[in-house]
Amino acid sequence: MDLRIEAALSYDFDAPTDLLLQVELARAAGQNIVEDALFTTPVEGFVRIDGGSAFGTRAWMQAEGRLDVTYRAQVTIDRPDPDWAALTANPPRTMTAEATSFLMPSRYCPSDEFEAFVWAEFDGLDGGARVAAMRDWIEGAFRYVPGTSNSATTARESFVQRQGVCRDYAHVMIAFARASGIPARMASVYAPDVDPPDFHAVAEVWLEDAWHLIDATGMTTASRMAMIGIGRDAADVSFLTSFGMARMVGQKVDVRPV
Amino acid sequence: MDLRIEAALSYDFDAPTDLLLQVELARAAGQNIVEDALFTTPVEGFVRIDGGSAFGTRAWMQAEGRLDVTYRAQVTIDRPDPDWAALTANPPRTMTAEATSFLMPSRYCPSDEFEAFVWAEFDGLDGGARVAAMRDWIEGAFRYVPGTSNSATTARESFVQRQGVCRDYAHVMIAFARASGIPARMASVYAPDVDPPDFHAVAEVWLEDAWHLIDATGMTTASRMAMIGIGRDAADVSFLTSFGMARMVGQKVDVRPV
Amino acid sequence: MDLRIEAALSYDFDAPTDLLLQVELARAAGQNIVEDALFTTPVEGFVRIDGGSAFGTRAWMQAEGRLDVTYRAQVTIDRPDPDWAALTANPPRTMTAEATSFLMPSRYCPSDEFEAFVWAEFDGLDGGARVAAMRDWIEGAFRYVPGTSNSATTARESFVQRQGVCRDYAHVMIAFARASGIPARMASVYAPDVDPPDFHAVAEVWLEDAWHLIDATGMTTASRMAMIGIGRDAADVSFLTSFGMARMVGQKVDVRPV
Amino acid sequence: MDLRIEAALSYDFDAPTDLLLQVELARAAGQNIVEDALFTTPVEGFVRIDGGSAFGTRAWMQAEGRLDVTYRAQVTIDRPDPDWAALTANPPRTMTAEATSFLMPSRYCPSDEFEAFVWAEFDGLDGGARVAAMRDWIEGAFRYVPGTSNSATTARESFVQRQGVCRDYAHVMIAFARASGIPARMASVYAPDVDPPDFHAVAEVWLEDAWHLIDATGMTTASRMAMIGIGRDAADVSFLTSFGMARMVGQKVDVRPV
């Protein structure tokens, strides 16, 4: 699948403010970037660094006043949708050091609290079958309601309140997987099926020695996602992290098949 | 300083249980391991993996029934105590990708909630001077009271309750530093001054392009610590993470200068 | 049903400490106290006050050193088990001021967070039928595991972790009821069926202009409970609330049919 | 002091919705209502009930579509400002049953978590002197920033974040007092000094056998407050509690000396 992506952000900064921007597509297996370009109004000290998980790109910069950012890209996605029924779990002691780190609880995914629930609810299911059952459970139990969660909302609150947006669905999915002994992390992506159009967040789980994307909202699937960045949870993959006061003026994401 | 270390753990497992052990000293700058050896009663599938931050060693294994673990080591520490007053902060845009990751909130260090507090309380202080002031504030405000915290206690609860043990002190220190724009992480260490003797946890902060150890309990200092592992917080550096029910039978840590 | 009750508590207090004791049976409809007596080792300033909800008795006193408390009672319970299917809910605007207060969230029952869950899970059920369904759901979903909760555990954590003891079951039951617009509160009771024998905590819900006891653990029913006190949640009905450090030395509750 | 009060609320309800309104002045010592009147667009089943603490008035009603509420009152306040230095604390065992209930933690005031802090920070101060010191501490440490808290924010979060609005200041004040063994509750009031004009929330503490109003924001004092209702915390004294979806259309509070 070929996608054309355009993302535009506008923010106001009253004082010189350091910020971390994470909107560029990752050079990664399964996606080939045909062309892309990032434009910003003038900033100080622009420097690109690697993403937080040896994957993706982040950019440090310092802005003051109005900052307009535009990112345009064309990408070819060549990634199969996982056949969940066929995927087996890695026993813990076959996990890489990197995968092992994604077993641990994180800011928004306190997976240690979900062990009793997942073992009771998904008992008898392993590997991909379990992941698929957990995904279906979340999609069935939750309602997608913008405005019901905020930047303090963790998987604990989302699980109780049974509502939220893509990041909340992903956090619960990640918490369930880790509580089941399956490494899981968060991916920020562009996808053409997201409604309303926006940056999207999904989970990625470690099965059979590889990472597999999964969207608990049911909006899209792995073969239709262009990946931006990877992290433990939303704390790691925000498209903009500001170290000082920032006021959003506008934001527009447009992703369409070409 | 030369240390002789002996750590002994005993646990009971009713069923075959995967576990991750993290008690061996790290091969790292500032410490030279003269000799060390890890012994366990028979386990299945023992395999060593790297630590979670390109640092240290963890071991996966599967145990059933009684598991006795003994670790013995001799280590020469050659690490100066930081001169905090002289250390300057890295502006965000000079931070490495690795350091940047340790700016983000984590399971036990929701640093996003502490920004108003640290900017009011430590206003006018930067870099090492700020870190030292934050450390002094914590040591002064907190009481070291074993039994008042548990594995669910975050820096939020510790900050309100003003008491805890070494992991709680370290979590608050890390939260303060990250909220101040200073990357911070948790180190598990052996140190001869810990009373009662036990595994110890301290913070490590990123100043002037390097990591510096700091103990908010005031029990010990960088020049007297032998490092085991590094992570975002206690979730990453537990000496034993069990994927199933484990009952501690006994634990003894002995660290003494030689 | 006639019950003979004996409760014995022993605590140590290093310094003179004010405490509130709540172990005596309530003079209340549905139970007739044949005889009862409370004994304590010498204390200062013993004074009885009413319970927190115009129901039951509490006693203030100041203790130092060892405090032994013994309470003995014989009581005749004449209270029917509710026929849940027949009980209809009070529309909010027919509720008394007292019942209305028990619609609000409390320390351990943040019922405001459970609205989406209860409306989705128990949709179509009202009044007693809904209460019975919520009770059955909790008993089915939860495991009774002493030691997995503590004095900081709220219905939010219990709901996520799906385990706990009687107070946790009652807190979730109360949170579900209030989130459904049904006033609910906590009752501390003696009951012969509690295993292991201990003080017991259950919920009480307001239906058809009256309060009805319900035990989400399934251990006992209204016709077999002798009531001690009533409150918003466990914060109000602790058998001992100490305003200073208290060390439990022993506790024994014996309740048997006569 | 004589006040003229006008409060106007407009809400939209898509479906018939039960709601509890609490905007009328309380008949209470220290304030004499010269005249008052409550107007609403047509509603079903309007019924007044007592407030939650034998104080104040609440009204149940069912609304659909647009609901406009107007309340107008003139009141003479004759209540002295407490001389905090002169007020002594009640030893626990001299407290009434009613006062005792306000020692317990509540939804937004988990006072059990603040004991270590208040005993360290306010050591040596008792009674009114302690209350005054706690009030000064909060006013000094906090910033009044609308929009930084929401209906899920407890005294725990406010204490960490050091910012909020009147309800957050009051919650922290109440938590500090209860943790100090001083009964405390929340009062909703009208006051001419609130900027921007709005319903106001303050704490009330129990000293020398009586309740005393205290405003931790420093905006106003007891002699200038007209009381509406009393409760454990904001959960009990909301001016509007809706049992179903409500959309605020407008709200205006005007309080001025006459």
Q: Which helix (H) or strand (E) holds B7?
A: strand B2-21
* Same domain for D166 and D99: yes
Q: What residues of A are in contact with residue C169 (Cβ under 8 Å)?
A: none
- Residue D227 and residue D129 share a domain: yes
pLDDT for residue A54: 66
Q: What was the pLDDT predicted at D102?
A: 96
Record the pTM.
0.93
Neighbours of A59 (CB within 10 A): 19
Strand partners, D253: D7
C-alpha dihedral over A86, A90, A95, A99, to 10 degrees? 60
A residues 135-154 lying closer than 8 A (beta carbon) to B: 151-152
Task: Please check whether residues B154 and B246 belong to one and the same domain.
Answer: no
Asked whether the beta carbons of residue B52 and residue A97 sit closer than 8 angstroms, the reply is: yes
Among A128-137, B32-41, C54-63, C214-223, the minimum mean pLDDT is found in C54-63
Q: Would the pLDDT of D52 be above 80?
A: no
Q: What is the CATH number of the domain that holds B219?
A: 3.10.620.30
The pair phi, psi for residue D246, each rounded to 5°, is: -130, 135
What distance in Å separates the CA atoms of residue B98 and residue B150, rounded to the nearest whole number?
29
Please tell me whether residues C115 and C10 are part of one structural domain: no
pLDDT at A53 over 80: no
- Asked if pLDDT for residue C140 goes beyond 90, the answer is yes
pLDDT digits (tens, 9 = 90+) for A120-144: 999 999 999 999 999 999 999 999 9
- Domain check: are C90 and C218 in the same one? yes
The H or E element that residue D47 is part of is strand D44-50
Which spans in chain B are helix H?
A: 97-101, 115-121, 127-141, 155-161, 166-179, 234-237
Confidence band, pLDDT 50/70/90 cuts, at residue B54: low
Q: Give the per-residue pLDDT at A52.
A: 77
Pair (C88, C196) in one structural domain:
yes
Contact residues, chain A, for D150 at CB < 8 Å: 150
User: What is chain D's alpha carbon radius of gyration, rounded to the nearest angstrom?
Assistant: 18
Give the pLDDT confidence of D80-129 residue by residue, as tens digits.
999 999 999 999 889 999 999 999 999 999 999 999 999 999 999 999 99
Looking at the structure, tell me whether residues B232 and B243 fall in a common domain. no
Q: 3-state DSSP call for residue B41?
A: coil
Are C134 and C208 contained in the same domain?
A: yes
CATH code where residue C56 lies: 2.60.40.2250
The answer, for D15 touching chain C at a CB cutoff of 8 Å, is: no
> Same domain, yes or no, for D131 and D226?
yes
pLDDT at A113 over 90: yes
Is C114's CB within 8 Å of A160's CB? yes
Chain B contact for A171 (CB, 8 A cutoff): no
Q: What is the pLDDT of residues C18-43, one digit of tens each?
A: 999 999 999 999 999 999 999 999 99
Total number of domains in chain C: 2
Contact C236, D101 (CB under 8 A): yes
pLDDT tens string D176-222: 999 999 999 999 999 999 988 999 999 999 999 999 999 999 999 99
Chain B residues whose CB is inside 8 A of the C152 CB are 157
Query: Which of D185, D219, D189 minimizes the C-alpha distance to D201?
Result: D189
Same domain assignment for residues D39 and D92: no
Q: Under DSSP, is residue B166 helix (H, G, I), strand (E, B) or coil?
A: helix
Answer yes or no: do A134 and A206 share one domain.
yes
- Give the residue from chain C lying closest to A164, CA to CA: C116
> Mapping DSSP to helix (H, G, I), strand (E, B) and coil, where does residue A190 land?
strand
Query: What mean pLDDT is reported for chain D?
Result: 95
Over residues A82-110, the mean pLDDT reads: 94
pLDDT band at D54 (very low <50, low <70, confident <90, very high): low
> What is the domain extent for residue C31?
2-77+239-257
Residue-wise pLDDT tens digits, B125-181: 999 999 999 999 999 999 999 989 999 999 999 999 999 999 999 999 999 999 999
Alpha-carbon distance of D60 to D242, in angstroms, equals 10
Determine the average pLDDT of the residues in C61-76.
97
Average pLDDT over residues C198-221: 97
CA distances from B28 to B24, B50, B79, B199, D243 (A): 12, 13, 11, 18, 60
What digits encode the pLDDT tens for the residues A177-186? 999 999 999 9
Give the 3-state secondary structure percentages of chain C, helix then strand then coil, rounded to 5.
25, 40, 35
Cβ–Cβ under 8 Å, residues D187 and D205:
no
pLDDT attached to residue B53: 76
Confidence (pLDDT) at D176: 98
Give the CA angle between residues A209, B231, B122 to the nearest 5°. Answer: 145
Q: How far apart are CA C232 and CA D109, in angstroms?
A: 14
Nearest alpha-carbon partner for C243 in C10, C17, C43, C9: C17
Contacts of C164 in chain B (CB under 8 A): none
Same domain, A38 and A163: no
Closest partner CB to B143 (pick from D116, D160, D163)? D116
The CA distance from A231 to the nearest CA of chain B, in Å, is 9
Which positions in chain D touch A157 (Cβ < 8 Å)? 152
Determine the pLDDT at residue B97. Answer: 92
- Whether A230 and A52 have beta carbons less than 8 Å apart is answered as yes
In whole numbers, what is the pLDDT of chain A averaged over residues? Answer: 95
Q: Looking at residue C51, what is its pLDDT? A: 86
The closest of B109, B126, B114 to B201, measured between CA atoms, is B109
- Reference A75, options A9, A28, A22; nearest CA is A28
Nearest C-alpha of chain D: how many angstroms from A194?
26
- Cα–chain center distance at A81: 17
* C89-121 pLDDT tens trace: 999 889 999 999 999 999 999 999 999 999 999
Percent of chain D with pLDDT over 90: 94
Asked whether the beta carbons of D146 and B189 are under 8 A apart, the reply is no
- D251-257 mean pLDDT: 96
Provide the 10 A C-beta neighbour count for residue A246: 17
